[in-house]
Amino acid sequence: MFENAPNSSLEMVIDETPLVSAMLEYSWNIFLLSLVISVLAALLVFLSLHWLLVRPMGRLSANMIAFRKSPEDISVGIKPSGRQDEIGVAERELEIMQTRLRFALKQKEHLAALGVAVSKISHDLRNILSTSHIVSDGLAQVDDPRVQKVVPRLVASINRAIDLCTETLKYGKAGEREPEREIFFLSPLIQEVWTAIELPAEAEIAFENLVTDDFTIFADREQFYRVLLNLCRNAVEALKVDGIVLLSAKKEGGRSFLTISDNGPGIPVRAQEHMFEPFTGSVRSGGTGLGLSIAKELVVAHGGVIHVEKTDETGTTFIIRLPD
Ligand SMILES: Nc1ncnc2c1ncn2[C@@H]1O[C@H](COP(=O)(O)OP(=O)(O)OP(=O)(O)O)[C@@H](O)[C@H]1O
Ligand SMILES: [Mg+2]
């Protein structure tokens, strides 16, 4: 019918609303679908990154922190998971590093303990050798050619030994043996200590031993010799040329009290704070700062206490309290 009407036109009228809403619904669905796909993809990426990288990295860093806090604790070391990738390599390398570091630390600890021991032995050996030095000086006065022949060698070897101890003291660090206590008379020990101290040639240092002949103490004689030698040496060194060193003792309430005093210039303020700590107490040139720390360690090992009763420009008094 229309073929015969060339100029005719067709006009279609349709309702757009369902079409628009269908298209909108379609695009909304597409949007929701792509959102779900992206969230799923993101979740997958997140989970795989978390499982494959973040978690093992977190384990590594937590282990490093724990190791840094207590490197000696063997329960802290990393256990490699056996992975073949870079994380696995990092875990194995960290394990090797931790094992080596722990070994090095142990070695260092042993060496430090050995160093303290060597320093303390050298310190007191030097004091003991000084006594031999005095004795050999006395030998030099003997008018016998045989004695005269050996004395220079004796003096030289003692000097060498003293030098060796002094050198050793510049380094290192010690455990003292347990005191072997016995009851002994204190006065002769004090006399021994005094004769062992080398007084400066021009010195006019008086020594007063106020301890009665019958006064006994219960202690390790050798160790107490070292305690008193260190304290008396300090007093003599502080006095320099003249003054007096005084030793007295008493018993009270089942305890022995020993007093060592001098009328020297007092302990320098700088030395007072750390004077009983090894290496830090000395403010004297040539001093190692071990004397008082050794004295304290030995007194404490006896269950005793050592303290400075007084120190000022009129002098210094140390008191040692020992249980009987
Ligand atoms: N009786 C004292 N009078 C004044 N100062 C003292 C006295 N005793 C100790 N001191 C001070 O305390 C410091 C620490 O004494 P300590 O015996 O520990 O070390 P040191 O005498 O310097 O060295 P060393 O290890 O050779 O004994 C000394 O340097 C000295 O300054
Ligand atoms: Mg000293």
User: Domain boundaries in the chain?
Assistant: 17-70, 117-169, 182-323
Q: Which atom of ligand 1 is nearest to the CA of 315?
A: 3
Of the candidates 61, 59, 63, 81, the residue with the CA atom closest to the CA atom of residue 73: 63
Give the whole-angstrom CA distance, residue 27 versus residue 238: 99
The ligand whose atoms approach the alpha carbon of 272 most closely is: 1
pLDDT (tens digit per residue) in 63-106: 999 999 988 888 888 888 888 888 899 999 999 999 999 999 98
Which residues have C-beta under 5 Å from ligand 2, the single-atom ion?
234, 291
Selected from 3.30.572.10, 1.10.3720.10, 3.30.70.980, 3.30.565.10, the CATH number assigned to the domain covering 182-323 reads 3.30.565.10
What is the per-residue pLDDT for 296? 95
Task: State in Å: Cα 169 to ligand 1 middle.
Answer: 15
What mean pLDDT is reported for the chain? 88
Most distant CA pair in the chain: distance in Å? 165
- Inter-residue contact 198 to 173 (CB < 8 Å): no
Joined tokens for residue 272? 């007072």
Query: How does residue 177 score in pLDDT terms, banded at 50, 70 and 90?
Result: low
Top-confidence residue, 207 or 169: 207
What tokens were used for 253? Answer: 């309430």
> If you measure from the C-alpha of residue 281 to the centroid of ligand 2, how many angstroms do you get, rounded to a whole number?
9
The ligand placed nearest to the CA atom of residue 246 is 1
Question: Which ligand does the CA of 314 lie closest to?
Answer: 1
**What is the predicted pLDDT for the residue at 175?**
52
Percent of residues, the chain, with pLDDT higher than 90: 51
* Overall average pLDDT of the 141-145 stretch: 86
* Centre of ligand 2 from the C-alpha of residue 132, in Å: 19
- Please, which pLDDT band fits residue 170 given cuts at 50, 70 and 90? low
- What's the gap in Å between 136 CA and the centre of ligand 2? 23
- Looking at all shown ligands, the one closest to residue 285's CA atom is 1
Q: How confident is the model at residue 114 (pLDDT cuts 50, 70, 90)?
A: confident
Contacting residues for 97 by C-beta, under 8 A, at least 6 apart = none
Position 208 pLDDT exceeds 90: yes
Q: Which residues line ligand 1 (CB under 6 A)?
A: 123, 230, 234-235, 238, 262, 264, 266-268, 271, 275, 281-284, 287-293, 316
Residue scoring higher pLDDT (71 or 185): 185
- 60 C-alpha to ligand 1 centroid (Å): 50
Point out the least confidently predicted range of 7-21, 60-74, 169-183, 256-270: 169-183
- Tell me which of 110-119, 262-271, 273-282, 311-320 is least confident: 110-119
* Cβ(295)–Cβ(260) below 8 Å: no
Q: What is the pTM of this model?
A: 0.61
Predicted confidence (pLDDT) at residue 295 exceeds the cutoff of 60? yes
Task: Flag whether pLDDT at 249 surpasses 80.
Answer: yes
Q: Which two tokens stand for residue 80?
A: 């490699």
Query: Cβ of 142: how many Cβ atoms within 10 Å?
Result: 11
pLDDT for 167: 64
Is the confidence at residue 2, as pLDDT, over 70? no
Instruction: For ligand 1, pick from 170, 284, 296, 318 the residue to mutate: most ligand atoms within 8 Å of CB.
Output: 284
